[in-house]
Structure 1
Amino acid sequence: MKTIGIIGSGISGLSAAAVLALNGQKVVVFEKNDQLGGRMRQFEANGFTFDMGPSWYWMPDVFERFYKQFGYSGSDFYELKKLDPGFQMITADGETVKIPAGWDELLALFEQIETGAADKLKAFMREAEYKYEVGVKKLIYQPGLSVLELINADTISGVFRLQIFSSFSKHVRRYFKNDTLIALMEFPVLFLGAMPKNTPALYSLMNYAGLKQGTFYPMGGFKKVIDAMVQISREHGVEFNTAEGVDAIKKESNSKISLTTHARSIQLDGLIASADYQHVESKLLQQKDRNYTE
C-alpha cells in the first residue's frame, strides 16, 4: 500500500481519491477551506443556500459510470430533475431564447429561427452522438500518457467522423447560417476554456450532451454530488483534512514527495494536485520542477 496525497477536494480530487482507495491505496486529502467540495461547495446565509459553482448537470451517464464502480447509482444519493426549459440564452439584441427539453420542441424552435434548420440539426446530432459514444465512453478514459492512445479501431475507422483536426467553428457554420443558432451551438465549448475556432469539431459531442440528453439538476444542490463522493471515499478509508492549505511541494532524493501544509510536513509516495494549475505551478512547486514561466 502506498500513501497518495491529493490537494483539493473538488470533484476531480474526490473522484481520484475514491478510485485510488478502491484500488488499495492509502489516500490523504488536503483542503484549504473549512468545507469540502472546491468550487462545488455551498454558501448559506439568512436561510438561503447557494451553489458556489456549477449549476448544470450534464452527461449523467458519466456520473453513473463512476458510481457503478462502487456498487451505487446516483439515485442512491440524490434526485435528479430534468429541467424544462434546460436553459435560456439572451442574444446580443436582447432576445431571450428558451431551450426546451423535448427533442421535437427543439427541432421546432430551430425551424422557427431558420428555415431548414430542423433537418440540419438532426444531421448535426447524428454526428455528435457518434462522437459522444466514442469520445466520452472510450477516449476520455485513456490515461493520457501518449498520443498513441488515440489510435485504435474506433478512431481509425471513424477518423473523419470524429473530426479531431477540424475547427468547431467551421463545423457549425456548415449546418447553420443564423447568428442566434450559431451562438447557441458554439457556446458549450466555452466550458473547455477555449474559443470555438481553436477547438476541434470533435467537441460537438457537448452539443449532444446539452441539447439532446438535456440539462439536469440534483435536488438539494450540487453539494449532494460532493456528499456522495465524500461518503464513498470515506467508506474506502480516505482521510480528509479541512482548513489545511498546502504551502509547498518538494521532490525528495528517496523518490518520496514532501508536502508542507500550514500545520505540518508529510512524506508521500505520490501526489495529485487538483487545485488550480497556475497556483500549483507558480506557488507550490520548486522552480526546477515547473513547466512554465509566469
Structure 2
Amino acid sequence: MTARDAIVVGGGISGLASAALLAADGHRVTLFEARDALGGRAGSWERDGFRFDTGPSWFLMPEVFEHFYRLLGTSMAEQLELRTLDPGYRAYFEGDATPFDLPAGSVPARAALMALDPASERDLARYLDSAGATYDLALRRFLYSSFDSMRPFLAREVLGGLPRLARMLLRSLDGEIRAHTRESRLRRLLGYPAVFLGGPCGCRACTTS
C-alpha cells in the first residue's frame, strides 16, 4: 500500500483512535487539536490537590477496546492498568435519602437491581437477558460492519431475532423499560447507560452470566 498524508482534526478518543489506525496502516498522520491536552471529553481537571474527570467515567464495552488494541498488535492488558471498583457506582435519587450501590459482578448487580422491584423479578430477568443477547448480536454482526452489503442482516441469528429487534426499534427505551417495571428508581437506573451507548443497558455488569 502506498503511504498517504492523512489529517485528523480533533484529539478526542475517536480522533486518537483514527490517527493510530491510519498510522498502523502506513499513512503519515498529522493530528490537530485546539486544546492544550489530548483526550477530548475524557479529560481531567485538577485543583488544590484534587483531580476530577470531565467526561465519561464508566468503562463500558471492553470488547471494543480489546478489538482496537488487537488491530494495533497489542492488547488491553498490555496497555491499560484497570482496577475493579466495588461498588461500581452509587446513585442518588431526588426525594430519597437512601442511595443505591451497584455491586461488582453480574450476579450481585442483577440481584441488587431486582431488589428494587421484587414483584417484577421475572420481567426484569427477561429484559436483562434480552439486552445481553442484543448486545452480543450487535458485537458479532453489526458493530464492525461497513454495511456495504446485506450480508449482516441475512445471518440466521439476525433473522431469528427480528421480532425482538423490531420491537426495540419501534418502541422508545423508556417504553421498553416500562413494559418490564414501573419502579421509578429502577427505570432511571436502566435508562441512564443510554447516555453513553445510545441503547438499552447491555453492559457486562448486568448481563453476563
1:151 deviates by 2.7
Rounded to whole Å, the distance in 2 between the matches of 1:90 and 1:121 is 21
1:79 deviates by 1.6
1:32 deviates by 1.0
Comparing both chains, which one has the higher relative contact order based on Cα–Cα distances under 8 Å and sequence gaps of 6 or more?
1
1:67-86 superposed matches below 5 A: 67-86=69-88
What's the counterpart of residue 203 of structure 2?
209
Structure 1 or 2, whichever has the larger Rg, is: 1
What's the counterpart of residue 25 of structure 2?
23
What's the counterpart of residue 156 of structure 1?
159
What's the counterpart of residue 93 of structure 2?
91
Q: Retained in 2: the 8 A contact 1:110–1:117?
A: no
What's the counterpart of residue 4 of structure 1?
6
3-state secondary structure, aligned to 1:64: helix
Rounded to whole Å, the distance in 2 between the matches of 1:213 and 1:9 is 32
What's the counterpart of residue 105 of structure 1?
108
1:216-231 superposed matches below 5 A: none
What's the counterpart of residue 126 of structure 1?
129
Rounded to whole Å, the distance in 2 between the matches of 1:160 and 1:209 is 22
Q: Deviations over 1:123-162 (max 9, x none)?
A: 212211111112134312223678x576331433321222
- Give the alignment partner of residue 55 of structure 1, picking from 57, 66, 89: 57
- Quick one: percent identity of the two aligned structures? 32
CA RMSD of superposed structures (Å): 2.5
What's the counterpart of residue 177 of structure 1?
182
Rounded to whole Å, the distance in 1 between the matches of 2:35 and 2:61 is 28
Equivalent pairs counted in the alignment come to 202
Rounded to whole Å, the distance in 2 between the matches of 1:19 and 1:152 is 29
1:248-259 superposed matches below 5 A: none
Q: Which runs of no fewer than 5 residues in structure 1 stay unpaired?
A: 194-202, 215-294
**Structure 1 segments (4+ residues) deviating >6 Å:** none
1:138 aligns with 2:132: no
1:10 deviates by 0.6
- Matched letter for residue 184 of structure 1: L
Residues 107 and 70 of structure 1: is their aligned pair in 2 closer, same or farther, counting only changes over 3 Å?
closer
- Matched letter for residue 87 of structure 2: P
1:78 deviates by 2.6
User: Which structure dedicates a bigger proportion of its chain to strand?
Assistant: 1
